[in-house]
Chain A
Protein backbone atom coordinates (compact mmCIF):
# COMPACT_ATOMS: atom_id res chain seq x y z
CA UNK A 1 0.00 0.00 0.00
CA UNK A 2 3.05 2.25 -0.04
CA UNK A 3 2.44 2.64 -3.75
CA UNK A 4 -0.84 4.42 -3.26
CA UNK A 5 0.85 7.01 -1.07
CA UNK A 6 3.29 7.74 -3.83
CA UNK A 7 0.42 7.87 -6.34
CA UNK A 8 -1.29 10.40 -4.14
CA UNK A 9 1.86 12.49 -3.97
CA UNK A 10 2.07 12.52 -7.73
CA UNK A 11 -1.58 13.56 -7.88
CA UNK A 12 -0.83 16.47 -5.53
CA UNK A 13 2.06 17.64 -7.66
CA UNK A 14 0.06 17.35 -10.87
CA UNK A 15 -2.83 19.25 -9.36
CA UNK A 16 -0.48 21.90 -8.03
CA UNK A 17 0.90 22.38 -11.52
CA UNK A 18 -2.60 22.55 -12.98
CA UNK A 19 -3.24 25.15 -10.31
CA UNK A 20 -6.87 25.98 -11.01
CA UNK A 21 -8.95 26.81 -8.01
CA UNK A 22 -12.34 25.95 -9.37
CA UNK A 23 -14.02 22.66 -9.82
CA UNK A 24 -13.26 21.48 -13.30
CA UNK A 25 -14.21 17.96 -14.19
CA UNK A 26 -10.79 16.44 -13.87
CA UNK A 27 -12.45 13.07 -13.33
CA UNK A 28 -15.54 12.74 -15.50
CA UNK A 29 -18.49 11.46 -13.48
CA UNK A 30 -19.02 7.79 -14.28
CA UNK A 31 -22.11 6.42 -15.92
CA UNK A 32 -23.38 3.77 -13.60
CA UNK A 33 -25.21 0.75 -14.92
CA UNK A 34 -27.29 0.16 -11.87
CA UNK A 35 -27.00 3.03 -9.41
CA UNK A 36 -29.28 5.96 -8.82
CA UNK A 37 -27.50 9.19 -7.81
CA UNK A 38 -28.78 10.41 -4.48
CA UNK A 39 -30.28 13.90 -4.29
CA UNK A 40 -28.56 16.46 -2.04
CA UNK A 41 -30.82 17.31 0.88
CA UNK A 42 -31.43 20.95 1.77
CA UNK A 43 -33.33 21.72 4.98
CA UNK A 44 -35.86 24.48 4.27
CA UNK A 45 -35.57 27.69 6.30
CA UNK A 46 -38.03 28.24 9.11
CA UNK A 47 -41.33 29.38 7.65
CA UNK A 48 -41.27 33.04 6.65
CA UNK A 49 -44.70 33.33 8.27
CA UNK A 50 -42.95 33.04 11.65
CA UNK A 51 -41.57 36.53 11.14
CA UNK A 52 -45.07 37.88 10.80
CA UNK A 53 -46.04 36.01 13.95
CA UNK A 54 -43.22 37.88 15.66
CA UNK A 55 -44.49 41.21 14.32
CA UNK A 56 -48.00 40.38 15.57
CA UNK A 57 -46.59 39.40 18.97
CA UNK A 58 -44.59 42.62 19.09
CA UNK A 59 -47.68 44.70 18.34
CA UNK A 60 -49.69 42.72 20.91
CA UNK A 61 -46.99 43.08 23.56
CA UNK A 62 -46.72 46.82 22.90
CA UNK A 63 -50.48 47.22 23.22
CA UNK A 64 -50.58 45.15 26.38
CA UNK A 65 -47.62 47.00 27.91
CA UNK A 66 -49.27 50.35 27.18
CA UNK A 67 -52.55 49.13 28.67
CA UNK A 68 -50.85 47.77 31.80
CA UNK A 69 -48.79 50.92 32.31
CA UNK A 70 -51.36 53.59 31.54
CA UNK A 71 -54.79 52.07 32.21
CA UNK A 72 -54.39 49.17 34.60
CA UNK A 73 -51.37 50.77 36.26
CA UNK A 74 -50.11 47.35 37.22
CA UNK A 75 -46.43 47.05 38.01
CA UNK A 76 -46.90 43.31 38.52
CA UNK A 77 -48.50 42.93 35.10
CA UNK A 78 -45.65 44.85 33.49
CA UNK A 79 -43.13 42.67 35.25
CA UNK A 80 -44.73 39.43 34.06
CA UNK A 81 -45.01 40.81 30.54
CA UNK A 82 -41.30 41.65 30.69
CA UNK A 83 -40.56 38.05 31.71
CA UNK A 84 -42.63 36.76 28.80
CA UNK A 85 -40.93 39.16 26.34
CA UNK A 86 -37.52 38.13 27.63
CA UNK A 87 -38.44 34.49 27.13
CA UNK A 88 -39.85 34.93 23.61
CA UNK A 89 -37.94 37.76 21.95
CA UNK A 90 -34.80 36.94 23.92
CA UNK A 91 -34.35 33.24 24.50
CA UNK A 92 -36.66 31.73 21.87
CA UNK A 93 -36.00 34.16 19.03
CA UNK A 94 -32.41 34.81 20.16
CA UNK A 95 -32.82 38.59 20.11
CA UNK A 96 -32.69 38.93 16.29
CA UNK A 97 -34.03 41.08 14.62
CA UNK A 98 -34.56 43.64 17.34
CA UNK A 99 -35.66 47.26 16.91
CA UNK A 100 -32.27 48.48 18.18
CA UNK A 101 -30.38 46.67 15.45
CA UNK A 102 -33.08 47.49 12.89
CA UNK A 103 -31.85 51.10 12.95
CA UNK A 104 -28.92 49.92 10.84
CA UNK A 105 -31.01 47.90 8.37
CA UNK A 106 -33.26 50.89 7.84
CA UNK A 107 -30.27 53.21 7.40
CA UNK A 108 -28.59 50.88 4.93
CA UNK A 109 -31.85 50.54 3.00
CA UNK A 110 -32.00 54.33 2.84
CA UNK A 111 -28.51 54.72 1.43
CA UNK A 112 -28.10 51.54 -0.60
CA UNK A 113 -30.96 50.91 -3.04
CA UNK A 114 -29.65 47.42 -3.78
CA UNK A 115 -30.15 46.33 -0.19
CA UNK A 116 -33.53 44.67 0.29
CA UNK A 117 -35.04 45.25 3.69
CA UNK A 118 -37.74 42.86 4.87
CA UNK A 119 -41.18 44.10 5.85
CA UNK A 120 -40.91 42.49 9.31
CA UNK A 121 -37.70 44.45 9.92
CA UNK A 122 -39.45 47.71 8.99
CA UNK A 123 -42.33 46.76 11.29
CA UNK A 124 -39.92 46.00 14.14
CA UNK A 125 -38.31 49.39 13.67
CA UNK A 126 -41.50 51.42 13.31
CA UNK A 127 -44.00 49.86 15.74
CA UNK A 128 -42.20 50.84 18.98
CA UNK A 129 -41.68 54.35 17.58
CA UNK A 130 -45.40 54.75 16.94
CA UNK A 131 -46.42 53.34 20.31
CA UNK A 132 -43.92 55.61 22.05
CA UNK A 133 -45.33 58.60 20.26
CA UNK A 134 -48.67 57.89 21.91
CA UNK A 135 -47.95 56.07 25.16
CA UNK A 136 -44.34 56.80 26.14
CA UNK A 137 -41.59 54.23 26.36
CA UNK A 138 -43.78 51.23 27.17
CA UNK A 139 -41.59 49.28 24.72
CA UNK A 140 -38.65 49.70 27.08
CA UNK A 141 -40.81 48.81 30.08
CA UNK A 142 -41.88 45.32 29.14
CA UNK A 143 -41.24 44.40 25.50
CA UNK A 144 -37.53 44.88 24.83
CA UNK A 145 -35.67 41.73 25.93
CA UNK A 146 -32.50 43.70 26.74
CA UNK A 147 -34.47 46.05 28.95
CA UNK A 148 -36.31 43.14 30.58
CA UNK A 149 -33.07 41.33 31.44
CA UNK A 150 -31.61 44.47 33.03
CA UNK A 151 -34.89 45.20 34.79
CA UNK A 152 -34.59 41.79 36.44
CA UNK A 153 -31.09 42.36 37.78
CA UNK A 154 -31.65 45.92 39.09
CA UNK A 155 -31.71 44.67 42.66
CA UNK A 156 -29.78 47.29 44.54
CA UNK A 157 -29.82 50.49 42.50
CA UNK A 158 -27.86 53.47 43.72
CA UNK A 159 -28.55 56.94 42.40
CA UNK A 160 -26.13 58.24 39.80
CA UNK A 161 -25.15 61.90 40.26
CA UNK A 162 -27.07 64.14 37.85
CA UNK A 163 -23.99 65.51 36.09
CA UNK A 164 -22.68 61.99 35.48
CA UNK A 165 -26.05 60.72 34.26
CA UNK A 166 -26.30 63.64 31.81
CA UNK A 167 -22.77 63.11 30.54
CA UNK A 168 -23.08 59.34 30.17
CA UNK A 169 -26.50 59.77 28.56
CA UNK A 170 -24.77 61.51 25.65
CA UNK A 171 -23.03 58.24 24.81
CA UNK A 172 -26.34 56.95 23.42
CA UNK A 173 -26.33 59.66 20.79
CA UNK A 174 -22.68 59.07 19.97
CA UNK A 175 -23.37 55.35 19.58
CA UNK A 176 -26.43 56.10 17.45
CA UNK A 177 -24.40 58.40 15.21
CA UNK A 178 -21.62 55.85 14.87
CA UNK A 179 -24.05 53.02 14.13
CA UNK A 180 -25.84 55.06 11.48
CA UNK A 181 -22.59 56.33 9.90
CA UNK A 182 -21.14 52.84 9.59
CA UNK A 183 -24.42 51.29 8.40
CA UNK A 184 -24.98 54.05 5.81
CA UNK A 185 -21.58 53.38 4.25
CA UNK A 186 -22.17 49.62 4.35
CA UNK A 187 -19.09 49.16 6.52
CA UNK A 188 -20.42 47.25 9.52
CA UNK A 189 -23.41 46.79 11.79
CA UNK A 190 -21.57 47.80 14.96
CA UNK A 191 -24.70 47.95 17.13
CA UNK A 192 -25.24 44.24 16.50
CA UNK A 193 -21.55 43.35 16.62
CA UNK A 194 -21.12 44.85 20.07
CA UNK A 195 -24.51 43.93 21.49
CA UNK A 196 -23.47 42.92 25.02
CA UNK A 197 -26.46 40.79 25.94
CA UNK A 198 -27.25 38.78 22.82
CA UNK A 199 -24.71 36.16 23.91
CA UNK A 200 -26.97 35.29 26.83
CA UNK A 201 -30.00 34.95 24.57
CA UNK A 202 -28.11 32.52 22.35
CA UNK A 203 -26.70 30.76 25.41
CA UNK A 204 -23.24 31.03 23.93
CA UNK A 205 -20.90 33.42 22.23
CA UNK A 206 -17.37 34.69 22.16
CA UNK A 207 -15.60 35.03 25.50
CA UNK A 208 -15.26 38.81 25.18
CA UNK A 209 -18.97 39.20 24.49
CA UNK A 210 -19.94 37.10 27.50
CA UNK A 211 -17.44 38.86 29.78
CA UNK A 212 -18.62 42.32 28.71
CA UNK A 213 -22.25 41.23 29.02
CA UNK A 214 -21.62 39.70 32.44
CA UNK A 215 -19.89 42.87 33.66
CA UNK A 216 -22.76 44.97 32.33
CA UNK A 217 -25.31 42.86 34.18
CA UNK A 218 -23.23 42.94 37.36
CA UNK A 219 -22.97 46.70 37.00
CA UNK A 220 -26.72 46.71 36.37
CA UNK A 221 -27.33 45.36 39.86
CA UNK A 222 -26.18 48.71 41.25
CA UNK A 223 -26.91 51.09 38.40
CA UNK A 224 -30.35 50.43 36.92
CA UNK A 225 -30.44 49.57 33.22
CA UNK A 226 -26.96 50.79 32.27
CA UNK A 227 -27.35 49.79 28.62
CA UNK A 228 -30.74 51.50 28.22
CA UNK A 229 -29.66 54.71 29.88
CA UNK A 230 -26.13 55.17 28.64
CA UNK A 231 -25.72 53.14 25.48
CA UNK A 232 -28.97 52.21 23.77
CA UNK A 233 -29.17 54.17 20.48
CA UNK A 234 -32.81 53.27 20.00
CA UNK A 235 -33.56 54.52 23.51
CA UNK A 236 -32.19 57.92 22.49
CA UNK A 237 -34.72 58.10 19.66
CA UNK A 238 -37.54 56.80 21.85
CA UNK A 239 -36.67 59.39 24.50
CA UNK A 240 -37.34 62.24 22.09
CA UNK A 241 -40.60 60.70 20.90
CA UNK A 242 -41.64 60.03 24.48
CA UNK A 243 -41.08 63.69 25.24
CA UNK A 244 -43.97 64.62 22.95
CA UNK A 245 -46.05 61.50 23.61
CA UNK A 246 -49.80 61.99 23.69
CA UNK A 247 -50.17 60.12 26.95
CA UNK A 248 -47.56 59.07 29.48
CA UNK A 249 -47.43 57.15 32.74
CA UNK A 250 -48.53 59.35 35.63
CA UNK A 251 -47.16 58.83 39.10
CA UNK A 252 -50.13 59.73 41.22
CA UNK A 253 -53.74 59.17 40.22
CA UNK A 254 -54.71 62.08 42.43
CA UNK A 255 -52.99 64.99 44.06
CA UNK A 256 -49.24 64.68 44.70
CA UNK A 257 -48.53 64.69 48.43
CA UNK A 258 -44.78 65.26 48.01
CA UNK A 259 -43.89 62.14 49.97
CA UNK A 260 -40.90 61.54 47.66
CA UNK A 261 -41.44 57.78 47.67
CA UNK A 262 -41.46 57.73 43.87
CA UNK A 263 -38.18 59.60 43.66
CA UNK A 264 -36.75 57.18 46.17
CA UNK A 265 -37.84 54.04 44.36
CA UNK A 266 -37.07 55.03 40.77
CA UNK A 267 -33.84 53.15 39.94
CA UNK A 268 -33.31 55.16 36.78
CA UNK A 269 -33.22 58.71 38.16
CA UNK A 270 -36.18 59.58 35.95
CA UNK A 271 -38.30 61.51 38.46
CA UNK A 272 -38.20 65.29 38.27
CA UNK A 273 -38.48 66.96 41.64
CA UNK A 274 -40.48 70.19 42.01
CA UNK A 275 -38.46 73.29 41.19
CA UNK A 276 -39.10 76.91 41.79
CA UNK A 277 -38.15 77.79 38.26
CA UNK A 278 -36.02 80.78 37.49
CA UNK A 279 -35.95 83.64 39.99
CA UNK A 280 -36.34 87.08 38.38
CA UNK A 281 -32.92 88.22 39.59
CA UNK A 282 -31.23 85.23 37.90
CA UNK A 283 -33.01 85.92 34.61
CA UNK A 284 -30.38 88.13 32.89
CA UNK A 285 -27.50 85.75 33.54
CA UNK A 286 -29.58 82.78 32.43
CA UNK A 287 -30.52 84.60 29.25
CA UNK A 288 -26.88 85.47 28.60
CA UNK A 289 -25.92 81.84 29.07
CA UNK A 290 -28.61 80.69 26.67
CA UNK A 291 -27.49 83.16 24.01
CA UNK A 292 -23.88 82.09 24.51
CA UNK A 293 -24.73 78.41 24.08
CA UNK A 294 -26.93 79.15 21.08
CA UNK A 295 -24.00 80.97 19.43
CA UNK A 296 -21.63 78.24 20.53
CA UNK A 297 -23.74 75.53 18.86
CA UNK A 298 -22.68 76.21 15.24
CA UNK A 299 -19.05 76.29 16.35
CA UNK A 300 -19.45 72.90 18.01
CA UNK A 301 -21.13 71.46 14.92
CA UNK A 302 -18.46 72.85 12.55
CA UNK A 303 -15.64 71.75 14.83
CA UNK A 304 -17.16 68.32 15.17
CA UNK A 305 -17.49 67.98 11.40
CA UNK A 306 -13.84 68.93 10.89
CA UNK A 307 -12.62 66.53 13.54
CA UNK A 308 -15.02 63.85 12.33
CA UNK A 309 -13.50 63.83 8.84
CA UNK A 310 -10.26 62.72 10.47
CA UNK A 311 -12.08 59.60 11.62
CA UNK A 312 -12.10 58.25 8.06
CA UNK A 313 -8.90 56.28 8.60
CA UNK A 314 -9.75 54.65 11.94
CA UNK A 315 -13.33 53.95 10.79
CA UNK A 316 -12.13 52.38 7.57
CA UNK A 317 -10.23 49.78 9.57
CA UNK A 318 -13.63 48.18 10.15
CA UNK A 319 -14.22 47.94 6.41
CA UNK A 320 -13.21 44.63 4.81
CA UNK A 321 -12.47 46.18 1.38
CA UNK A 322 -10.13 48.81 2.80
CA UNK A 323 -8.45 46.29 5.06
CA UNK A 324 -7.85 43.92 2.16
CA UNK A 325 -6.57 46.69 -0.12
CA UNK A 326 -4.11 47.83 2.55
CA UNK A 327 -2.92 44.29 3.08
CA UNK A 328 -2.35 43.64 -0.61
CA UNK A 329 -0.63 46.98 -1.06
CA UNK A 330 1.65 46.20 1.87
CA UNK A 331 2.41 42.76 0.43
CA UNK A 332 3.21 44.18 -2.99
CA UNK A 333 5.54 46.76 -1.48
CA UNK A 334 7.31 44.25 0.72
CA UNK A 335 6.12 45.81 3.94
CA UNK A 336 4.77 42.53 5.29
CA UNK A 337 5.83 38.94 4.87
CA UNK A 338 3.59 36.20 3.55
CA UNK A 339 -0.02 36.36 2.53
CA UNK A 340 -3.36 35.99 4.24
CA UNK A 341 -6.38 33.89 3.22
CA UNK A 342 -8.07 37.09 2.11
CA UNK A 343 -5.22 38.34 -0.07
CA UNK A 344 -4.79 34.88 -1.61
CA UNK A 345 -8.49 34.71 -2.33
CA UNK A 346 -8.46 38.09 -4.03
CA UNK A 347 -5.41 37.29 -6.12
CA UNK A 348 -6.97 34.00 -7.20
CA UNK A 349 -9.99 35.82 -8.62
CA UNK A 350 -7.60 37.37 -11.19
CA UNK A 351 -9.25 40.73 -10.69
CA UNK A 352 -6.81 43.66 -11.03
CA UNK A 353 -5.36 45.07 -7.81
CA UNK A 354 -6.06 48.61 -9.05
CA UNK A 355 -9.77 47.87 -9.01
CA UNK A 356 -9.58 46.94 -5.33
CA UNK A 357 -7.47 49.98 -4.45
CA UNK A 358 -9.96 52.24 -6.25
CA UNK A 359 -12.87 50.66 -4.38
CA UNK A 360 -11.01 51.13 -1.09
CA UNK A 361 -10.25 54.79 -1.83
CA UNK A 362 -13.89 55.36 -2.75
CA UNK A 363 -14.99 53.70 0.48
CA UNK A 364 -12.57 55.82 2.49
CA UNK A 365 -13.95 58.97 0.84
CA UNK A 366 -17.44 57.86 1.78
CA UNK A 367 -16.25 57.27 5.33
CA UNK A 368 -14.73 60.75 5.43
CA UNK A 369 -18.17 62.15 4.65
CA UNK A 370 -19.83 59.81 7.13
CA UNK A 371 -17.20 60.70 9.73
CA UNK A 372 -17.80 64.40 9.13
CA UNK A 373 -21.54 63.95 9.53
CA UNK A 374 -20.91 61.89 12.66
CA UNK A 375 -18.67 64.61 14.12
CA UNK A 376 -21.24 67.30 13.33
CA UNK A 377 -23.88 65.13 14.98
CA UNK A 378 -21.79 64.76 18.14
CA UNK A 379 -21.24 68.53 18.19
CA UNK A 380 -24.96 69.11 17.74
CA UNK A 381 -25.80 66.68 20.53
CA UNK A 382 -23.40 68.34 22.97
CA UNK A 383 -24.59 71.81 22.00
CA UNK A 384 -28.28 70.96 22.34
CA UNK A 385 -27.58 69.27 25.67
CA UNK A 386 -25.92 72.45 26.95
CA UNK A 387 -28.88 74.54 25.85
CA UNK A 388 -31.27 72.00 27.31
CA UNK A 389 -29.52 72.02 30.66
CA UNK A 390 -29.50 75.82 30.88
CA UNK A 391 -33.23 76.20 30.57
CA UNK A 392 -35.33 76.17 33.66
CA UNK A 393 -38.96 75.47 34.20
CA UNK A 394 -41.25 75.80 37.19
CA UNK A 395 -42.61 72.52 38.37
CA UNK A 396 -45.02 71.99 41.24
CA UNK A 397 -45.23 68.23 41.71
CA UNK A 398 -43.05 65.18 41.33
CA UNK A 399 -43.40 64.02 37.74
CA UNK A 400 -41.66 61.53 35.48
CA UNK A 401 -38.96 62.89 33.21
CA UNK A 402 -40.75 61.69 30.09
CA UNK A 403 -37.60 61.32 28.00
CA UNK A 404 -35.80 59.06 30.45
CA UNK A 405 -38.74 57.31 32.10
CA UNK A 406 -39.06 53.75 30.84
CA UNK A 407 -42.57 53.33 32.31
CA UNK A 408 -41.47 50.48 34.55
CA UNK A 409 -44.30 51.33 36.96
CA UNK A 410 -42.37 51.40 40.23
CA UNK A 411 -43.34 55.02 40.96
CA UNK A 412 -47.09 54.54 40.96
CA UNK A 413 -46.70 51.18 42.64
CA UNK A 414 -45.17 53.01 45.62
CA UNK A 415 -47.42 56.08 45.49
CA UNK A 416 -49.62 56.27 48.62
CA UNK A 417 -52.36 57.94 46.59
CA UNK A 418 -52.36 54.94 44.25
CA UNK A 419 -52.66 52.66 47.27
CA UNK A 420 -55.77 54.54 48.33
CA UNK A 421 -57.19 54.36 44.81
CA UNK A 422 -56.61 50.62 44.72
CA UNK A 423 -58.16 50.33 48.17
CA UNK A 424 -54.99 48.77 49.62
CA UNK A 425 -54.94 51.33 52.42
CA UNK A 426 -57.58 53.63 53.87
CA UNK A 427 -57.34 57.37 53.35
CA UNK A 428 -56.60 57.93 57.04
CA UNK A 429 -53.57 55.63 56.91
CA UNK A 430 -51.96 57.86 54.34
CA UNK A 431 -50.86 60.32 56.97
CA UNK A 432 -49.09 57.54 58.83
CA UNK A 433 -46.76 57.99 55.91
CA UNK A 434 -43.81 55.78 55.27
CA UNK A 435 -44.54 53.20 57.92
CA UNK A 436 -47.24 51.67 55.74
CA UNK A 437 -46.12 48.26 54.55
CA UNK A 438 -46.66 47.38 50.96
CA UNK A 439 -48.77 44.50 49.97
Chain B
Protein backbone atom coordinates (compact mmCIF):
# COMPACT_ATOMS: atom_id res chain seq x y z
CA UNK B 1 0.00 0.00 0.00
CA UNK B 2 2.78 2.39 0.98
CA UNK B 3 4.57 1.38 -2.20
CA UNK B 4 1.46 2.17 -4.19
CA UNK B 5 1.04 5.50 -2.45
CA UNK B 6 4.59 6.47 -3.30
CA UNK B 7 4.04 5.56 -6.93
CA UNK B 8 0.95 7.73 -7.12
CA UNK B 9 2.80 10.58 -5.40
CA UNK B 10 5.62 10.30 -7.85
CA UNK B 11 3.28 10.31 -10.81
CA UNK B 12 1.45 13.31 -9.39
CA UNK B 13 4.75 15.11 -8.85
CA UNK B 14 5.92 14.44 -12.39
CA UNK B 15 2.51 15.41 -13.81
CA UNK B 16 2.40 18.65 -11.84
CA UNK B 17 5.96 19.43 -12.85
CA UNK B 18 5.20 18.93 -16.54
CA UNK B 19 2.06 21.02 -16.29
CA UNK B 20 3.88 23.88 -14.62
CA UNK B 21 6.67 23.71 -17.19
CA UNK B 22 4.06 23.64 -19.97
CA UNK B 23 2.07 26.57 -18.59
CA UNK B 24 5.18 28.67 -17.95
CA UNK B 25 6.50 27.78 -21.41
CA UNK B 26 3.28 28.76 -23.16
CA UNK B 27 2.95 31.97 -21.15
CA UNK B 28 6.60 32.87 -21.77
CA UNK B 29 6.31 32.20 -25.47
CA UNK B 30 3.16 34.36 -25.66
CA UNK B 31 5.00 37.20 -23.98
CA UNK B 32 7.88 36.76 -26.40
CA UNK B 33 5.66 36.88 -29.49
CA UNK B 34 3.57 39.71 -28.13
CA UNK B 35 6.72 41.73 -27.42
CA UNK B 36 8.19 40.92 -30.80
CA UNK B 37 5.26 41.85 -32.98
CA UNK B 38 5.40 45.11 -34.88
CA UNK B 39 3.62 48.34 -33.95
CA UNK B 40 0.53 47.82 -36.04
CA UNK B 41 -0.48 44.31 -35.16
CA UNK B 42 -2.91 43.56 -37.92
CA UNK B 43 -2.05 42.14 -41.29
CA UNK B 44 -4.21 42.44 -44.38
CA UNK B 45 -3.34 41.43 -47.93
CA UNK B 46 -2.93 44.18 -50.49
CA UNK B 47 -1.56 44.62 -53.99
CA UNK B 48 1.34 46.99 -54.52
CA UNK B 49 0.22 48.60 -57.79
CA UNK B 50 3.80 49.51 -58.69
CA UNK B 51 4.78 45.85 -58.71
CA UNK B 52 1.60 44.54 -60.33
CA UNK B 53 1.99 43.34 -63.92
CA UNK B 54 -1.76 42.83 -64.52
CA UNK B 55 -1.26 39.20 -65.49
CA UNK B 56 -4.87 38.26 -64.85
CA UNK B 57 -4.24 35.71 -62.08
CA UNK B 58 -6.18 37.83 -59.58
CA UNK B 59 -9.41 37.08 -61.39
CA UNK B 60 -8.89 33.33 -61.34
CA UNK B 61 -6.88 32.41 -58.24
CA UNK B 62 -8.87 34.04 -55.43
CA UNK B 63 -10.70 31.53 -53.23
CA UNK B 64 -13.86 33.57 -53.74
CA UNK B 65 -15.95 32.81 -56.80
CA UNK B 66 -15.88 36.50 -57.67
CA UNK B 67 -12.37 37.62 -56.84
CA UNK B 68 -11.89 40.11 -54.01
CA UNK B 69 -9.63 42.06 -56.36
CA UNK B 70 -11.17 45.06 -58.10
CA UNK B 71 -9.91 47.82 -60.30
CA UNK B 72 -9.50 51.30 -58.79
CA UNK B 73 -9.09 54.56 -60.64
CA UNK B 74 -6.70 57.29 -59.57
CA UNK B 75 -8.65 60.14 -61.16
CA UNK B 76 -5.91 62.70 -60.54
CA UNK B 77 -3.48 60.68 -62.68
CA UNK B 78 -5.87 60.09 -65.57
CA UNK B 79 -5.41 61.88 -68.88
CA UNK B 80 -9.15 61.77 -69.62
CA UNK B 81 -8.29 60.69 -73.16
CA UNK B 82 -10.93 60.18 -75.79
CA UNK B 83 -8.86 57.26 -77.00
CA UNK B 84 -8.46 55.42 -73.71
CA UNK B 85 -6.25 52.36 -74.06
CA UNK B 86 -7.71 50.98 -70.84
CA UNK B 87 -11.21 51.25 -72.19
CA UNK B 88 -10.97 50.38 -75.89
CA UNK B 89 -9.90 47.24 -77.65
CA UNK B 90 -6.61 47.81 -79.52
CA UNK B 91 -8.38 47.42 -82.86
CA UNK B 92 -11.67 49.03 -81.93
CA UNK B 93 -13.86 49.90 -84.89
CA UNK B 94 -15.24 53.02 -83.31
CA UNK B 95 -14.56 55.05 -80.20
CA UNK B 96 -18.02 54.44 -78.80
CA UNK B 97 -19.40 52.63 -75.78
CA UNK B 98 -20.40 49.67 -77.95
CA UNK B 99 -19.58 46.38 -76.23
CA UNK B 100 -17.50 45.19 -79.18
CA UNK B 101 -15.16 48.16 -78.72
CA UNK B 102 -14.57 47.66 -75.02
CA UNK B 103 -11.59 45.93 -73.49
CA UNK B 104 -13.43 45.12 -70.25
CA UNK B 105 -15.05 41.67 -70.52
CA UNK B 106 -17.87 42.64 -68.16
CA UNK B 107 -18.43 46.23 -69.25
CA UNK B 108 -17.50 47.45 -65.79
CA UNK B 109 -16.02 50.77 -66.94
CA UNK B 110 -18.38 53.72 -67.40
CA UNK B 111 -17.32 56.35 -69.89
CA UNK B 112 -18.83 59.81 -69.52
CA UNK B 113 -18.27 62.88 -71.62
CA UNK B 114 -16.98 65.80 -69.56
CA UNK B 115 -15.89 68.51 -71.98
CA UNK B 116 -14.30 68.42 -75.38
CA UNK B 117 -12.14 66.33 -75.82
CA UNK B 118 -12.18 64.78 -72.38
CA UNK B 119 -13.97 61.70 -71.11
CA UNK B 120 -14.07 60.40 -67.57
CA UNK B 121 -13.81 56.70 -66.79
CA UNK B 122 -15.26 55.16 -63.62
CA UNK B 123 -15.25 51.56 -62.38
CA UNK B 124 -18.53 49.85 -61.63
CA UNK B 125 -17.06 47.66 -58.89
CA UNK B 126 -19.88 45.12 -58.56
CA UNK B 127 -19.23 44.21 -62.21
CA UNK B 128 -15.42 44.26 -62.04
CA UNK B 129 -13.84 40.79 -61.84
CA UNK B 130 -10.27 42.02 -61.30
CA UNK B 131 -8.88 40.60 -64.55
CA UNK B 132 -6.64 43.61 -65.02
CA UNK B 133 -7.13 43.91 -68.80
CA UNK B 134 -7.84 47.63 -68.48
CA UNK B 135 -4.90 48.04 -66.08
CA UNK B 136 -2.59 46.47 -68.62
CA UNK B 137 -3.87 48.71 -71.40
CA UNK B 138 -3.70 51.86 -69.30
CA UNK B 139 -0.25 51.13 -67.84
CA UNK B 140 1.32 50.17 -71.16
CA UNK B 141 0.10 53.12 -73.23
CA UNK B 142 -1.55 55.60 -70.90
CA UNK B 143 -0.84 57.26 -67.60
CA UNK B 144 -1.33 54.09 -65.53
CA UNK B 145 -4.17 55.57 -63.53
CA UNK B 146 -6.10 52.28 -63.43
CA UNK B 147 -4.74 49.78 -60.91
CA UNK B 148 -5.83 46.69 -59.01
CA UNK B 149 -6.54 46.58 -55.28
CA UNK B 150 -7.94 43.96 -52.93
CA UNK B 151 -11.37 45.04 -51.70
CA UNK B 152 -10.79 44.68 -47.95
CA UNK B 153 -14.51 44.45 -47.32
CA UNK B 154 -14.78 41.27 -49.34
CA UNK B 155 -11.33 39.74 -48.77
CA UNK B 156 -11.51 36.58 -46.65
CA UNK B 157 -8.14 37.40 -45.05
CA UNK B 158 -6.92 33.86 -45.69
CA UNK B 159 -3.85 32.94 -43.72
CA UNK B 160 -2.09 32.27 -47.01
CA UNK B 161 -3.46 34.34 -49.88
CA UNK B 162 -4.14 32.06 -52.85
CA UNK B 163 -3.50 34.90 -55.31
CA UNK B 164 -0.17 35.74 -53.65
CA UNK B 165 1.02 32.20 -54.43
CA UNK B 166 0.09 32.66 -58.09
CA UNK B 167 1.33 36.25 -58.42
CA UNK B 168 4.28 36.37 -60.85
CA UNK B 169 5.73 39.62 -59.49
CA UNK B 170 5.22 39.11 -55.73
CA UNK B 171 3.07 42.22 -55.72
CA UNK B 172 0.79 40.97 -52.93
CA UNK B 173 2.05 41.83 -49.50
CA UNK B 174 0.75 42.19 -45.97
CA UNK B 175 -0.21 45.71 -44.95
CA UNK B 176 -1.25 47.03 -41.54
CA UNK B 177 -4.96 47.47 -40.80
CA UNK B 178 -4.37 51.18 -40.31
CA UNK B 179 -3.33 51.48 -43.96
CA UNK B 180 -5.42 48.87 -45.76
CA UNK B 181 -4.98 50.23 -49.31
CA UNK B 182 -2.03 51.26 -51.44
CA UNK B 183 -3.55 53.95 -53.68
CA UNK B 184 -1.40 54.60 -56.71
CA UNK B 185 -1.66 58.37 -56.53
CA UNK B 186 -0.66 58.49 -52.86
CA UNK B 187 2.37 56.25 -52.53
CA UNK B 188 5.74 56.59 -54.21
CA UNK B 189 7.10 55.09 -57.38
CA UNK B 190 8.20 51.56 -58.17
CA UNK B 191 9.70 49.83 -55.16
Contacts and interface: CB of A to CB of B under 8 A. Distances in A.
Contacts of A12: 90, 141
A27 B38 CA distance: 41
Interface stretch (A57-65, A96-104, A216-224, A416-424): A96-104
Nearest to A4: B95
Nearest to B158: A96
Nearest to B140: A15
A110 interface: yes
A15 B143 contact: no
Interface in A190-232: 192-193, 202, 204-205
A130 B24 CA distance: 10
A193 B33 contact: no
A344 interface: yes
Contacts of A25: 77, 79, 143
Give the most central of A41, A42, A109, A344: most B CB within 10 Å. Answer: A42
B169 interface: yes
B158 A192 contact: yes
A239 B156 CA distance: 30
A83 interface: no
A284 B42 CA distance: 59
Contacts of A22: 50, 139, 144, 189-190
Interface string B84-128: 010010111111000000000000000000110010101001000
Interface residues of B, number: 83
Contacts of A346: 169
A110 B181 CA distance: 27
Interface of chain A: mostly helix, strand, loop or mixed: loop
Interface stretch (A32-40, A71-79, A147-155, A303-311): A32-40
A7 B83 contact: yes
Contacts of A102: 159
A349 B190 contact: yes
A265 interface: no
A344 B54 CA distance: 12
Contacts of B157: 96-97
Contacts of A193: 160, 165
Interface in B138-171: 138-145, 149, 151-160, 165, 168-170
Contact of A345 (B42, B53, B160): B53
B41 A116 contact: yes
Given A29-B76, A40-B73, A116-B43, A35 B114 contact: yes
B8 interface: no
Contact of B149 (A42, A192, A205): A42
B44 interface: yes
A83 B105 CA distance: 42
Contacts of B51: 345
Given A8-B92, A42-B183, A130-B26, A29 B140 contact: no
Contacts of B57: 341
Contacts of A97: 157, 159
B26 A129 contact: yes
A18 B40 CA distance: 41
Contact of B88 (A8, A39, A122, A345): A8
A392 interface: no
A94 interface: yes
A279 B69 CA distance: 68
Going nearest first, the 7 A-B pairs with the smallest beta carbon separation are A23-B144, A27-B79, A116-B38, A342-B168, A345-B169, A43-B153, A45-B152
Given A51-B42, A117-B33, A117-B43, 12 more contacts: A8-B83, A12-B141, A15-B141, A23-B138, A23-B139, A23-B184, A27-B80, A116-B40, A192-B160, A244-B22, A340-B168, A344-B168
10 contacts: A5-B91, A22-B190, A26-B142, A27-B143, A29-B77, A38-B75, A40-B74, A118-B37, A122-B33, A204-B63
